Every structure is written in structure tokens, then in C-alpha cells.
Structure 1
């Protein structure tokens, strides 16, 4: 896996049953932290806006990506990752071949909050 050079694209598809922290409306946001890097939307937020957190384990995804699978039929499921104490998956997650790429769809259960789930998709983008 050390030879992988590229970008990890994370698409936030939707949030479900998110906690409302403001009295009139709520503007949820996502912060992605990887090592010391943080990426988030351009909103301003404060510590009282905390709407939960979740961790993902990208190792299964990177292991499949490193296999160099190509020319699989579109929609081919390569692996399933089950929810466990090591991840925040709310349900099984599929790693599949889609439109010429390996992608993983996940529904993450938010921690440290009353309720909420976030649906995301990760995809590897190779950098030549």
C-alpha cells in the first residue's frame, strides 16, 4: 500500500436524523481530518455546534485498490465490510467497481450525539 499515490475523494451524500443545535434552524457541516490535515466547508462554526463524530477505516478500501482490479463488470461487488467496534458503520458497507473505479459506500453512525447518520462514498483518484 505504500506505493499508492493519489487522492482520496470523500463525497458526503446526505445526513439523516441529525441533531438540531440552533433554535431556529440548523446548518450541519462536515469536517474531515486525516493526520494533521482538516478540510471543511466554508461555514463558520463554534464548539457548541458539535453534531457528532465518526471514524472510518480505509484499510479494506486501500487493500482492494492496491489489487489493481480492472475491467470488472460495472456494479461488481468486491468486498463487504461489516459494522464492528472498530468502525462507525451503521450497516454493511460495499466496496464495488463502478464506472471504471473502485468505490465504497458507507452509512456512518455518529458518536457523541443523541442521533444521526451520514452517508458517504469514498473513491481513489490516482495521481500520475
Structure 2
């Protein structure tokens, strides 16, 4: 990590890529999906799940946060052996609402307390409302993201600090 980045490091954001739902078929009968997750200059990738349009990754990806105003871009691809990988849609979301909730004094709240709710809108890729919840001493946010630029598909992720 660059020294200038260490000076402005706010913390580590854990993005658990849970699963894909009803992803687009890009091979003959199925797809071999994986997800590239990008935040600022950082790029991480999940493993490829073979022959499954409803894959379960349950992979934790960690991003160092220096700017809470960044967005996270997820791009789903179909892995191909002999040709360029096919794009299967993308989605993005802001981490600002989650980061703002982190700044609140939440210690002492009962586990399961809803801190805030983000509604789906034209400005986000949420398929349904996303709640930021105080759970066992941590803030957790589950997001169901509707993929753009594709005929179908959603990706479920979870944020933790």
C-alpha cells in the first residue's frame, strides 16, 4: 500500500459476494460466472462457478477505504476457455450511506436495530430496499442488486466494516 494511502486509510470494507440469481445464459445452456468488483483503483475477482446461472460464491473481498464517496462497481462475466469472456451485466452502489451510519454512536443498541433504509431509485441498482442493521456489535448491510445492460439477473452482496 502506498504511504499516502496509509495516511488517509479510513478502514477496511468487507464485501461478501453471496450469490447470483437468474443470471443470463451466455453459453449453450448455462454460464460460468465470476464477478469483478472495482472500488476506485482496487479490483478484486471472485472464483468462477462452472455451469450455473444461480451461483453461490460466499466470498469475502476486502477493500481499503480512503474516500467514502466512491462507488463500488460489480461486473459479472461468463468465463470462456477459447474466446473473450462474455459480459453478463453490471451494477453499482454507493458506500456513503453505510459509511455515514458507521459514524453514529451505536454501541448499546439492541442487536437487530435498523439504523437506516436505502430505497431503490433510478440512481442506484437496488432491486429492493436495503437496510443497514446493527447486529452483534457490527453494522451489516445486505444489498440485492439488479444487473444493468443485460436481460436478467441479480447479485446479492453484504457489507461489513
Match of 1:22 among 27, 34, 44: 27
- 1:71 Cα deviation from its structure 2 partner: 2.2
1:115 aligns with 2:152: yes
Distance, in Å, in 1 between the alignment partners of 2:133 and 2:90 is 25
Structure 2 segments unaligned to the other structure (5+ residues): 1-7, 49-77
Matched residue, 1:57:
94
1:70 aligns with 2:107: yes
- 1:119 Cα deviation from its structure 2 partner: 1.0
Match of 1:79 among 105, 116, 121: 116
Q: Residues 4 and 66 of structure 1 are in contact (CA less than 8 Å); yes or no, is this contact kept in structure 2?
A: no
Change (3 A) 1:42 1:105: closer
Distance, in Å, in 1 between the alignment partners of 2:101 and 2:160 is 11
Distance, in Å, in 1 between the alignment partners of 2:19 and 2:103 is 28
CA RMSD of aligned residues (A): 1.9
Distance, in Å, in 2 between the alignment partners of 1:35 and 1:54 is 15
Structure 1 segments unaligned to the other structure (5+ residues): none
4+ long deviations beyond 4 Å:
none
Report SS of the residue matched to 1:71.
Answer: coil
Moved more, 45-54 or 75-84: 45-54
TM-score, scaled to structure 2 = 0.70
Matched residue, 2:36:
31
Matched residue, 2:11:
6
- 1:21 Cα deviation from its structure 2 partner: 0.9
